[in-house]
Amino acid sequence: MSTTQPRKILVTSALPYANGAIHLGHLVEYIQTDIWVRFQKMRGHECWYVCADDTHGTPVMLRAEQEGITPEQLIARVHAEHSRDFAGFLVNFDNYYSTHSPETQECANLIYRRLKEAGLIEVRTIEQYYDPVKAMFLPDRFIKGECPKCGAKDQYGDNCEACGAAYTPNELKNPYSAVSGAPPVLKNSEHYFFKLSAPQCQELLRRWTREKGRLQPEAANKLQEWLGEEGENKLTDWDISRDAPYFGFEIPDAPGKYFYVWLDAPIGYMGSFKNLCARKGLDFDEWFKPDSATELYHFIGKDILYFHALFWPAELAHAGFRTPSKIFAHGFLTVDGAKMSKSRGTFITAASYLAQGLDPEWLRYYFAGKLTNTLEDLDLSLDDFVARVNADLIGKYINIASRSAGFIIKRFNGQLAPADADLPAIRAIQEAAPRIAELFEAREFGKAMREVMALADGANQYVDRVKPWELARREGQEVELHAACSNSLNLFRLLTVLLKPVLPDVAKKVETFLNVAPLTWDDTATLLAGGHGIQPYQHLMTRIDPKQVAALVEANKASLAPADTTASQAAPARAAGHSPQRHGEKQQHEAQAAEAAAAAGPHISIDDFMKLDLRVAKIVEASQVEGADKLVRLMLDIGEEKPRQVFAGIKSAYDPAQLQGRLTVMVANLAPRKMKFGLSEGMVLAASDPEGKTSGLYLLAPDPGAQPGMRIK
RNA sequence: GGUGAUGUAGCUCAGACGGUUAGAGCGGUGGAUUCAUAACCCACAGGUCGGCAGUUCGAUCCUGCCCAUCACCA
């Protein structure tokens, strides 16, 4: 039962952006990480858990300005809110710091300098939109104007929320800066790039991402896609600088240039740990030197795998540091099977959950019961949440103590009889403990909880069999009664050890109740001695009233107002690479986008229909697409200067040769979509049986006489 | 469209190197019990394991295609 050699483990969770509240989606990750860390500590390992607020970037800068405070004031306030929320959910960081810190700056500068010495930093001039009034360069998301396709006003620079068209900022009509309202101008600027395309980066990442255990298998597959085939370098250089004004760290040898927020975000892990080292007397270098014997794990959402599995190891390795031992990515949270939604009230903030008086350990248990080590999404089913917590935690687990403690207190003066070490229910738990430890280690918390609850069933069956309430009524059965209740409390204690990583507060109450030292994993091997005295039982956890959950949902319901006034919260979901995307913010953004769709009824209006720009198209060219099973590449003449390129999934039904020259119908205003094979600038219409009962695929064609470019309505 | 995943009882999820009656919890029904902040115990009902085809003596588990849902495409 003894744990092996103590390990030295450093663990991180992704840094939440300092511009928005923590919600249940974030908490999946922090609870998952916290359970794992608590487990490691219970095993006797040296394990440090650090995190920080991700504080830099344009959104924070503008938000602070909007509120009339400095960025420093804003991030200090948000830091306090985040810290409070995490503490409320018993997420026990050893250090919750900030990327806006001297330690992070020091590490960022050092990494930058070493990358530069390694020849991996390059300066290039790029052209970008600039706000002449505000005197700042504008990210795409901060340029607005009229949609070039449908004319909708106040659309962002990357895509139109009215018609869904995608475009670049310079296609917007009457563009203006979202910051000052002034028309932007194009201006050149020097940017600093990290040469991810360099051979040494590619070579490193190819090897690193394939090393056993670094990444989950699905994640490794994903990375292969980004890296491309052997000999095919799909990695592109990464723009790591932004122009002033910018809230961030100025690049040491480049006045007026700042590190892009995504450069210093992961470095924030180092900064936070460095700060902890100073306080705890730890040797930072021992943990970050290239051949370090310590372990480093990053828990992240699957959306930021790209940053953590490509940029980050490449930066570290070429700046003379160790790379992460493993990266643990998890899926997103859905609520009742759907994306979190403000109008449905399922966009639940951590603060509102706590304010409604719900017990954080309910959620910790529920998440634990559903967490796996894969990238699969996790559903919070509200009815299931109530049923599961009440049945498992109160009905099964807590009940064992509650039904035994009274007899011990009343009849035996709070003193236990020796436990029966051969009792099958006790032995079952002790034998299961190593297996459950492996499940915790492997982040298979769902499986672990299932095992624990099966063991709790065994404990209840034991109590039911020995029937203490009957023994209590009979004369001369005191010894049996004493033994039954003592065994039962020992069962309860053992189960508490197994649940302690998930339910730390309950475990603390149990330690007080049973009058024992803080439980460690090795306590699964021991039993309470005869004569051990316990405290009177006080209820350890209450049931969930479904009304509480209903009230929580009600409290989180937002009206269907268009994008709320905290516009800076709207992290651009599609403008990736321009702004940090934490899974939380992304979920939030998409939740908002989903609202509009949800509001629509089963019918569409004539206006909706008129949004479709359907055109008669002549197929001037049709060809096979190398490497695509279903696609045919079509060049379509719709009366424009140049034919449009469209990839159509019709290979199964049509030979390209027979398509050439014929007329069909295309959607001309569909947002262009970048595919592996090139840009697809529309869609051709074809009929097929939605049930799939009748096979075949049939392209639409106009009657003779129609000319390319004619509008269909 | 490509890539990665998912689709198993009303709900949330397990599981099976392909092989006699596919499991759990919740919910439902019936019983037992009253120690336990109605908790617990026993039993029953409930599924053509997304669809179609193939491989096989045999497939829900393998292969192919299709459908649906989710994510990513920097």
Q: What is the pLDDT at residue A595?
A: 38
**Most confidently predicted of A211-215, A610-614, A666-670, A672-676:** A211-215
A14 in Cβ contact with A39 (< 8 Å)? no
Q: Look up the protein residue whose alpha carbon has the minimum distance to the C1' of B72.
A: A303
ipTM score? 0.89
pTM greater than the 0.90 cutoff = no
3-state secondary structure of A252: coil
Per-residue b or e along A262-281, where b marks 16 or more CB atoms closer than 10 Å to that residue's CB: bbbbbbbbbbbbbbbbeeee
The integer distance in angstroms from the CA atom of A448 to the C1' atom of B22 is 22
Is the pLDDT assigned to residue A672 strictly greater than 80?
no
d(CA A42, CA A518): 9
Asked if residue A457 keeps its beta carbon closer than 7 A to nucleic acid strand B, the reply is yes
Mean pLDDT to the nearest integer, A305-330: 91
Q: What is the pLDDT at residue A395?
A: 92
Q: What is the pLDDT at residue A159?
A: 60
The integer distance in angstroms from the CA atom of A439 to the C1' atom of B47 is 29
pLDDT tens digits for range A44-75: 999 999 999 999 988 899 889 889 999 999 99
d(CA A169, CA A135): 18
Asked if residue A464 keeps its beta carbon closer than 7 A to nucleic acid strand B, the reply is yes
CB neighbour list of residue A217: distance below 8 Å, 6 or more residues apart:
none
Mean pLDDT to the nearest integer, A412-419: 93
DSSP per-residue string spanning A466-513: H-HHHHHHSTT-HHHHHHHHHHHHHHHHHHHHHHTTT-HHHHHHHHHH
Q: What is the pLDDT at residue A705?
A: 73
Instruction: Retrieve residue A476's tokens.
Output: 């001369």
A578 in Cβ contact with A572 (< 8 Å)? yes
Q: What is the pLDDT at residue A563?
A: 33
Q: What is the pLDDT at residue A609?
A: 60
Per-state percent for chain A, helix, strand, coil, to nearest 5: 45, 20, 40
**Most confidently predicted of A294-298, A543-547, A623-627:** A294-298
Q: What is the DSSP letter of A396?
A: I
Which of residues 361 to 400 on A have a Cβ less than 7 angstroms from any strand B atom?
Answer: 370, 372, 374-379, 381, 383-384, 387-388, 390-392, 394-396, 399
Asked if residue A639 keeps its beta carbon closer than 7 A to nucleic acid strand B, the reply is no
* Alpha carbon separation from A713 to A164, A665, A697 (Å, rounded): 20, 12, 23
User: Which of the four pLDDT bands, split at 50, 70 and 90, describes residue A626?
Assistant: low
**Most confidently predicted of A461-470, A564-573, A676-685:** A461-470
pLDDT tens digits for range A111-154: 999 999 999 999 999 888 888 888 888 877 778 777 666 666 77
DSSP per-residue string spanning A54-112: B--SHHHHHHHHHHTS-HHHHHHHHHHHHHHHHHHTT---SEEEESSSHHHHHHHHHHH
Nearest nucleotide to A380, CA against C1' atoms? B12
Is the pLDDT assigned to residue A709 strictly greater than 70?
yes
Is the pLDDT assigned to residue A433 strictly greater than 70?
yes
Which of residues 528 to 557 on A have a Cβ less than 7 angstroms from any strand B atom?
Answer: 538-539, 542-543
Asked if residue A474 keeps its beta carbon closer than 7 A to nucleic acid strand B, the reply is no
